[in-house]
Structure formats: C-alpha cells, structure tokens
C-alpha cells in the first residue's frame, strides 16, 4: 500500500466505448450524495424518466435506468420477457447478437438463430422467412447498432415484420441512442435498452431501458417467476414506478444518476436532431481523412454507423502496435477488431462528447504520422486537409 490517490492520465476515447465523458457530467457526479428515498432524489428520478422517454421517443411508462451497465439492460429484457420453452428468434450479425443468443439459452428459451454476415445489416426479408418457418416464435431480438462491426440495421422494418407475426421485439440501442435516430413508439418496439457510456457522453455503469405496455402484460402474466431477483421489473418498478410507495429495492447509484441526468440535460440543450447531425458531420470529416490516406471502410455506405467507423488495417501493418503508439504518444484510444475482424480492422468511435472537431483532427493526424513512421503503404500528406475541407 502506498496511500497515493489514483490519478489517471487523461485520454481521448475514440474506441467502441467508453467514450469521452462531458466535463459537466463529471462535475455533476461530484455533487453531494443524498439518500435514495430523499424527496429531492425522487424528483430527480421522475425527471430522469421523462428525459429518457424523450431520448427514446416513447410514451412507455416503464422507462428507467437499470443500475448496471448495458449488459444488464440486455439481461433485464431477456430475463423478464423470456419464459422457459419460449421460442426466441435472435438475429446475429456481430458479437452482441451472440450475447443475446446466450441469454436465451441460459433462460431456458428455445433459440432460433438467424445468422447473417458480419459487417452487414440484418435483412428484414430474412427475418420474415425465419418467422414463417417458425410461426410459434414469441420474441424477435436484434441489435440496432452493432458496435463490433459498425453496422446499422433497419429497426422499423424488423419491428414491423415481428409485430405482423405477433411477436414482441427486444432491440439493443446501446450504441445508437443519442447518435442516430431511435424512435421506439414509431418502430413499435416492445423492449429496448441502451448504455450510458456510448453516445450519451456519460460515464459507464447505467443502462437506460424502456418497455411497452404489451411487454408489461407479458411480465405480469408469467407463470414462472423472473429468474433474476435484481432485474425483476415487478420489483424494480416498486422503487421506480409512478404511484408507488417507492419501496426500497436496492440503493440507487445516486451520483451516477446525477451524471446521467446531466448528460440528458446536455442532449436536451443540443436537441436530438442536432446531436444526430453532429455525429454524421464528424463521421464525414473522419472518413475524408482516412480515405485520403488510402484506408478503406468495411461496411457498405448505406449500412454504416457514423459513430463507429470500421476501417481495414493496411497490408503488413502490426495493428496492435499502431494502437499502442496512439495511446502512448497521443493519449488516443481507438478500438481493435473483434471476432472475424480481429487483427484486420480498427474501430474508431465518434460517440457522444467524443464526436467533436478536435478529436477528428487529432485522430487523422496521429494515425497518419504513426502509419508513415512505421513505413505503412499509405498515401501521405493529404489526410488532414481532406478532413478540414469535409468539416468546413
């Protein structure tokens, strides 16, 4: 023990998350802790629910932040909605769809797996044909923004097909909320969850979640209790729900919730559409610089996420060494490839507060200088000016 405080070197976070936390969010988190049943805190909870409804674009009364990271939001949806023996169609086009599948089997559900190419969107027609082959399917689950591959799937089209087949839908919006349009009521989605640390400019550890009245009915009519005590929405709503006695369930992460509240205040001040435009604008700037160097995007343009850019590593380059040098010499973090893309791509995030001009300029210039220094086969000298003109 050396009795010395932990003071990290600040970094610029341009990986797949966590992303840069807005300074006002960090300030909010440092405010005095109050009790989790304090009337002031109850007010904050009500305001948080309203702000999350707005961000998700839903009127769902069951809209709240789960007191744990995005993975817990995922688990909450499956644990509450899947009963043993239920057929669940999981659409997988990356890492996170695989985790959904794992949730279904662990809960005793019957997994129907739609496997689709990594780096491509889920084809709604494929969902329709799977549902025709399995007409007794109860739930369709998919990832809106696959962070492992940088792909956006058409949530409305998939939800429409699922609803027409009488299925509930579970949608992973961890990387999409705040970065690209998310509209639960317009989609007709039944359950969706997100994460605080991606496009919301907040610290990791919370999972905004929303469920439709249809989903609540299914939970109320379960014959087998929800296997997870902590994530059982019947119990969580005793604390978070309207017109309840606000019974103690668990101690809310008070200061973390101050942070989430502040991140939503910032999003309100900016406006949802403006935030989506900002993510797209900086993506275009980054893209111009990377392409000017000769790096290529993996995902077809119309399926790309502006907030998560997958580019291929040039021939003969030690990709891990590049990331290490960016971190050591520029305090810049970018992400590695996962699964079938391991060692082949970089994942460059422009999420939330990280999606800003100086980050794009830093990333393009740092990457170009490191690659050039390592003798990589890239075109030199044009990246920064291409980015500047794209951002002009």
Ligand X SMILES: *Cc1c(COP(=O)(O)O)cnc(C)c1O
User: For binding to ligand X (CB under 6 A), which residues are involved?
Assistant: 17, 69-71, 74, 96, 143, 147, 172, 174-175, 195, 204
Q: Which is nearer to ligand X, 53 or 197 (CB)?
A: 197
129-136 LR contacts (CB < 8 Å, sep 24+): 130/89, 131/89, 131/161, 131/162, 131/165, 131/167, 134/87, 134/89, 135/165, 136/87
Separation of alpha carbons 154 and 165, rounded Å = 17
Q: How far is the CB of 93 from ligand X (least distance, A)?
A: 11
Q: How far is the CB of 137 from ligand X (least distance, A)?
A: 22
Q: Which is nearer to ligand X, 206 or 218 (CB)?
A: 206
Q: How far is the CB of 208 from ligand X (least distance, A)?
A: 11
Separation of alpha carbons 149 and 90, rounded Å = 17
Q: How far is the CB of 183 from ligand X (least distance, A)?
A: 18
Q: How far is the CB of 71 from ligand X (least distance, A)?
A: 3
Q: How far is the CB of 172 from ligand X (least distance, A)?
A: 5
Of 73, 71, 72, 228, whose CA–CA distance to 63 is shortest? 73
Residue 241: phi and psi, rounded to 5, are -70, 160
Q: Which is nearer to ligand X, 90 or 386 (CB)?
A: 90
Report helix, strand or coil for 145.
strand
Cβ neighbour number for residue 184 with a 10 Å cutoff: 26
Terminal Cα-to-Cα distance of the chain (whole angstroms): 52
Q: Which is nearer to ligand X, 151 or 292 (CB)?
A: 151
Q: Which is nearer to ligand X, 173 or 288 (CB)?
A: 173
Closest residue to ligand X using C-beta atoms: 70
192 forms beta bridges with 171, 210
Q: Which is nearer to ligand X, 150 or 289 (CB)?
A: 150
- CB 90 within 8 Å of CB 101: yes
């Amino acid at each position: 023990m050396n009795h010395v405080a932990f003071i990290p070197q600040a970094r610029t976070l341009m990986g797949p998350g966590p992303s840069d936390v807005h300074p006002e969010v960090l300030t909010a988190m440092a405010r005095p802790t109050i009790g989790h049943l304090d009337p002031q805190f109850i007010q904050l909870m009500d305001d948080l629910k309203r702000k999350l409804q707005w961000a998700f674009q839903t009127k769902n009364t069951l809209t709240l932040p789960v007191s744990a990271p995005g993975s817990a939001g995922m688990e909450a949806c499956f644990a509450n909605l899947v009963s043993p023996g239920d057929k669940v169609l999981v659409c997988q086009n990356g890492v996170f769809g695989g985790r959904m599948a794992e949730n279904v089997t662990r809960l005793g559900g019957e997994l129907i797996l739609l496997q689709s190419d990594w780096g491509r969107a889920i084809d709604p027609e494929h969902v329709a044909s799977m549902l025709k082959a399995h007409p007794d399917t109860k739930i369709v689950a998919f990832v809106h923004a696959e962070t492992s591959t940088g792909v956006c799937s058409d949530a409305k089209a998939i939800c429409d097909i699922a609803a027409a087949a009488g299925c509930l839908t579970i949608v992973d919006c961890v990387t999409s909320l705040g970065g690209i349009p998310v509209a639960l009521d317009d989609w007709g989605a039944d359950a969706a969850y997100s994460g605080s640390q991606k496009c919301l400019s907040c610290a990791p550890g919370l999972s905004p979640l929303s469920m439709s009245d249809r989903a609540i009915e299914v939970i109320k009519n379960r014959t087998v209790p929800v296997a997870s005590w902590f994530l059982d929405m019947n119990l969580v709503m005793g604390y978070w729900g309207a017109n309840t006695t606000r019974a103690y369930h668990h101690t809310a992460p008070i200061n973390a919730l101050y942070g989430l509240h502040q991140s939503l205040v910032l999003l309100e001040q900016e406006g949802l559409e403006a935030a989506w435009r900002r993510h797209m604008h900086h993506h275009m700037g980054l893209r111009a610089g990377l392409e000017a160097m000769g790096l290529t995007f993996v995902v077809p343009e119309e399926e790309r996420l502006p907030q998560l850019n997958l580019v291929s590593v040039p021939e003969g380059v030690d990709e891990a060494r590049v990331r290490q040098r960016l971190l050591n010499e520029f305090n810049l973090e970018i992400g590695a490839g996962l699964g079938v893309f391991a060692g082949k791509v970089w994942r460059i995030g422009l999420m939330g507060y990280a999606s800003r001009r100086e980050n794009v300029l830093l990333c393009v210039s740092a990457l170009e200088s490191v690659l050039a220094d390592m003798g990589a086969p890239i075109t030199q000298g044009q990246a920064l000016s291409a980015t500047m003109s794209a951002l002009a």
